[in-house]
Amino acid sequence: MSTAFTFPGQGSQTVGMGQALAAAFPEARRVFEEVDDALGEKLSAVLWEGPDEVLTLTANAQPALMAVSIAALRAAEARGVRLADHAAYVAGHSLGEYSALAAAGSLSLADAARLLRLRGNAMQAAVPPGAGAMAALLGLDLETARAVAAEAAGDEVCTAANDNAPGQVVVSGHRGAVERAIEIAKAHGARRAVLLPVSAPFHCPLMQPAADAMAEALAQVDIRAPSVPLVANVLARPITDPAEIRARLVEQVCGTVRWRESVEWLGANGVDLFVELGAGNVLSGLAKRIVKGAQGLAVNTPEDVAVLAERLGENVAG
């Protein structure tokens, strides 16, 4: 059996995240300094001092979450946990895919920070404020959620954006269409259907201007083969070729985050421990729901790092 390292997406951010890691590990502190230098501003101050509404801005939250994930990894490395030795695969939820690639040496930390700042700005700018929305449909499978979205769309956009876990699908698109999807989902037996507090309709065709901006930016960046395969959001299978990684990162902006299928693939291929590096514990919780018997371990404090080091010890991924 083996281990996958996973990296969280937007929504996991909290003011103060990563501060204890930076205080305890010089290796973690250097991550925040390098991200500040790459962006030409003190993002670390926003991270640790807030205010929350500034940290939550997409252009700040995306590089900030990546920084915390890599800081957690560097702290783990300082305790002897090396990704290439202990992980069979990496995967990240939406922006977390950039964290995963930085962790696996495919992207430099500075490039990942700059790309995520650009990605956040481009996603925010792609749709006028208030024109789009996202909603969580709970209790429906992906096929039913897609049918609901298609029925709700009419001449607007409404598609499945995130397939997070069994019975947890998020739809995205024009606000009116998403609001219709909520009512249609309830009629189809959804346990709950609610609008999400997001600033733009991510992972739907309305994001095409952002995808175009990312295609241009990614073409200028050096992408190397990762030290372990990346299970890609839009494919739910592993990839290692730099050209394909570049293409899938562009596709990911408008495409569905196939997280449930990604975790199912990992479980079917021997992964039984899902280590979530970075803010929160959403992905480790989802892993336990998706893969029977799987264990999840969230690592975002010095105490978590100690637990991870003890847990993995000298074991290497199979």
- CATH number for the domain spanning 221: value is 3.40.366.10
Q: What is the pLDDT of residues 12-56, one digit of tens each?
A: 999 999 999 999 999 999 999 999 999 999 999 999 999 999 999
Q: What is the pLDDT of residues 138-156, one digit of tens each?
A: 999 999 999 999 999 999 9
Flag whether 318 is in a domain. no
Q: pLDDT value at position 315?
A: 45
Do 148 and 70 fall into the same domain? no
- Which residue carries 């600033």 as its tokens? 199
Do 117 and 230 fall into the same domain? yes
Q: pLDDT value at position 119?
A: 98
Do 56 and 154 fall into the same domain? no
Mean pLDDT value across residues 232-255: 98
Do 18 and 120 fall into the same domain? yes
Binning pLDDT at 50, 70 and 90, where does residue 317 land? very low
**Which residues does 238 contact at the CB level (< 8 Å), separation at least 6?**
89, 229, 230, 231, 232, 265
Mean pLDDT value across residues 118-129: 96
Do 157 and 102 fall into the same domain? no
Dump the DSSP string for 123-181: HHHTS-TTSEEEEEEES--HHHHHHHHHHHHTTS-EEEEEEEETTEEEEEEEHHHHHHH
Mean pLDDT value across residues 67-82: 97
Do 36 and 150 fall into the same domain? no
Percent of the chain with pLDDT over 90: 97
Does the predicted TM-score (pTM) go above 0.75?
Answer: yes
Q: Is the pLDDT of residue 314 over 50?
A: no
Mean pLDDT value across residues 161-167: 97
Flag whether 116 is in a domain. yes
Mean pLDDT value across residues 273-282: 98
- What's the whole-number average pLDDT of the chain? 96
Do 151 and 106 fall into the same domain? no
Question: Distances in Å between the alpha carbon of 244 and those of 83, 101, 252, 312?
Answer: 22, 13, 12, 31
What span, in angstroms and rounded, lies between the C-alpha atoms of 27 and 62?
A: 21
**Strands 89-92 and 2-7: what pairing?**
parallel
Q: What is the pLDDT of residues 166-189, one digit of tens each?
A: 999 999 999 999 999 999 999 999
Q: pLDDT value at position 313?
A: 77
Q: pLDDT value at position 53?
A: 94
Q: pLDDT value at position 199?
A: 86
Contact 203, 255 (CB under 8 A): yes
Q: pLDDT value at position 318?
A: 35
Give how many domains the chain has, as a whole number: 2
What span, in angstroms and rounded, lies between the C-alpha atoms of 83 and 190?
A: 40
Dump the DSSP string for 232-301: -TTTSSEE--HHHHHHHHHHHHHS-B-HHHHHHHHHHTTEEEEEEESSSSHHHHHHHHHSTT-EEEEE-S
What span, in angstroms and rounded, lies between the C-alpha atoms of 241 and 253?
A: 19
Do 113 and 155 fall into the same domain? no
Do 141 and 117 fall into the same domain? no
**Among 132, 102, 128, 129, which Cα is nearest to 115's?**
102
Domain stop point among 198, 215, 231: 198
Instruction: Please give the residue range of the domain that contains residue 159.
Output: 132-198
Q: pLDDT value at position 185?
A: 98
Do 93 and 136 fall into the same domain? no
Do 138 and 121 fall into the same domain? no
Q: What is the pLDDT of residues 104-116, one digit of tens each?
A: 999 999 999 999 9
Flag whether 317 is in a domain. no
Q: pLDDT value at position 161?
A: 98
Catalytic residues: 94, 203
Domain stop point among 179, 198, 217: 198
